[in-house]
Amino acid sequence: MAFLEVQDLQVYFPIKGGIFNRTVDHIKAVDGVSFEMEQGKTYGLVGESGSGKSTTGRAIIGLEDITSGKILFDGKDITDKKTKNKAFRKDVQMIFQDPYSSLNPRKRVLDIVAEPLRNFEKLSKQEERKRVQELLDIVNVSPDSIFKYPHEFSGGQRQRIGVARAIALKPKLIIADEPVSALDVSVQAQVLNFLKEIQSELNLTYLFISHDLGIVKHMCDNISIMYKGRYVEQGSTADIFENPQHIYTKRLIAAIPDIDPKNREKQFHNRQKVLEEYTQSYNDFFDQDGLAFQLKSISDTHRVALPQKG
């Protein structure tokens, strides 16, 4: 039994229009996504803006209404918002992209980190403070700073305070939505290292949502590529990077700048070649609406939205 199982998830947003402002159409933000996750692993969800990757994460935790599909967590159906009970809300936490806006500027660090504790556990003031200090210690923020406000911290520190809040209830699954994309390179490294550390300590499972393939490659065991609400490819990190099958995946990988200037020309030509292939076979890989086809298994771990033949 999978730890988290998503079956044919659809999240549609209505488009209002016409004189009476009725729903005239839908934006299919997530359009039939299925995947399974095992405990203790990191799953990358990659896509460009508008691909539906964030919506997928937000739908799982219950921040978006699910149009159809099924989500099973530890074998229990938690699709409906009402079924997302206390245990679920304790076990699944989210880390947001922007450390500057995701922390309430008028609250002290103590209150920010203690908020989930107050919701789920009845602790005395002393116990609560002790727990918060322990958590801050885990995320490498000085436990003396519990009475400070978010603006007194740097971006990396804020993001780690966000992480402290997320791990306060010892969750099993963390959905990290672009957790480092607002941070500088060196601070990024700090947060990524740290996410890896607490993963092994707490046996965490991550759904790591990002647009940065380099970081996803570094962090994840398994990667899914999303395009216009659908999965185009899914596989182990090696499958995706060493044996990409879908033209969109190939294009994404070719777009990553190479850090070695000696490869510049090679990279440039490679990108031209991939772009050519992309334009030529676009109609084979996408249907009339420009959407990807159903995923097909090509190995035990690797599934690709290959052209429908015949």
Partner 1 sequence: MSNELLKIKNLSTSFRIGDEYYAAVDDVTLTLNKNEVLGIVGESGSGKSALAFSIMRLHTRAKIEGEILLNNQNIVKMSTSKLNKIRGDEMAMIFQDPLTALNPLMPIGRQIEENLFLHNKKLGQQGRKKRTIELLNLVGIPRPERVYEQFPHELSGGMRQRIIIAIAIANDPELLIADEPTTALDVTIQAQILDLVRELKEKIHAGIILITHDLGVVAEMADRVAVMYAGQIVEIAPVDKLFANPLHPYTRSLLNSVPAEGQDRLHVIQGVVPTLKNLPRTGCRFAERIPWIDASHHEEHPELHEVESGHFVRCTCYEHFYFPDNKEEQANGVS
Partner 2 sequence: MWKFIVRRLLITIPQIIILSIIVFILAQMMPGDALSGLIDPSIDPAAVEQQRERLGLNNPWYIQYVDWVGGILQGDFGQSFRFKMPVTELIGQRMVNTVLLSVVTLIFTYLIALPLGLISGRFNDTLLDQAITGYTYIGFATPLFIFSLFMLWIFGYNLGWFPTSGSVAPGTEPGTIAYWLSKVYHALLPGISIALIQVVSTVQYLRSEIIDTKQKDFIITARAKGAGEQRVYNKHIFRNSLLPIAAFFGWEITTLITGTVFVEKIFSYPGMGLLFLESITQRDFSVANSLVLLFGTAQIMGALLSDIILSIVDPRIRIK
Residue 260 binds which entry of partner 2, partner 1, none, CB below 5-8 Å type-dependent: partner 1
Residue 49 binds which entry of partner 2, partner 1, none, CB below 5-8 Å type-dependent: partner 1
Distance of alpha carbon 306 from alpha carbon 1, whole angstroms:
27
Of 171 and 244, which has the nearer Cβ to partner 1? Answer: 244
- Total residues contacting partner 2 by CB under 8 A comes to 5
Of 20 and 82, which has the nearer Cβ to partner 2? Answer: 20
Residue 271 binds which entry of partner 2, partner 1, none, CB below 5-8 Å type-dependent: partner 1
Taking each helix axis from N to C end, the angle separating 109-120 and 155-167, rounded to the nearest 10 degrees, works out to 10
Residue 214 binds which entry of partner 1, partner 2, none, CB below 5-8 Å type-dependent: partner 1
* Chain positions contacting partner 1, by CB under 8 A: 48-49, 140-142, 154, 156-157, 184-190, 192-193, 196, 211-215, 217-219, 251-252, 254-262, 264, 267-268, 271
Residue 186 binds which entry of partner 2, partner 1, none, CB below 5-8 Å type-dependent: partner 1
Residue 185 binds which entry of partner 2, partner 1, none, CB below 5-8 Å type-dependent: partner 1
Q: Which of 25, 11, 105 minimizes the C-alpha distance to 59? A: 11
Of 71 and 220, which has the nearer Cβ to partner 1? Answer: 220
Bridge partners of 44, per DSSP, are 208, 223
Bridge partners of 73, per DSSP, are 4, 76
Nearest approach in angstroms of CB 140 to partner 1 is 5
Binding mask 2-41 for partner 2 (x = CB under 8 A): ---------------xxxxx--------------------
Distance of alpha carbon 26 from alpha carbon 56, whole angstroms:
16
Nearest approach in angstroms of CB 21 to partner 2 is 6
The tokens of 234 are what? 């899914």
Nearest approach in angstroms of CB 265 to partner 1 is 10
Of 79 and 224, which has the nearer Cβ to partner 1? Answer: 224
Of 20 and 105, which has the nearer Cβ to partner 2? Answer: 20
Residue 21 binds which entry of partner 2, partner 1, none, CB below 5-8 Å type-dependent: partner 2
Nearest approach in angstroms of CB 92 to partner 1 is 26
| Residues within the interface to partner 2 (CB under 8 A) | 17-21
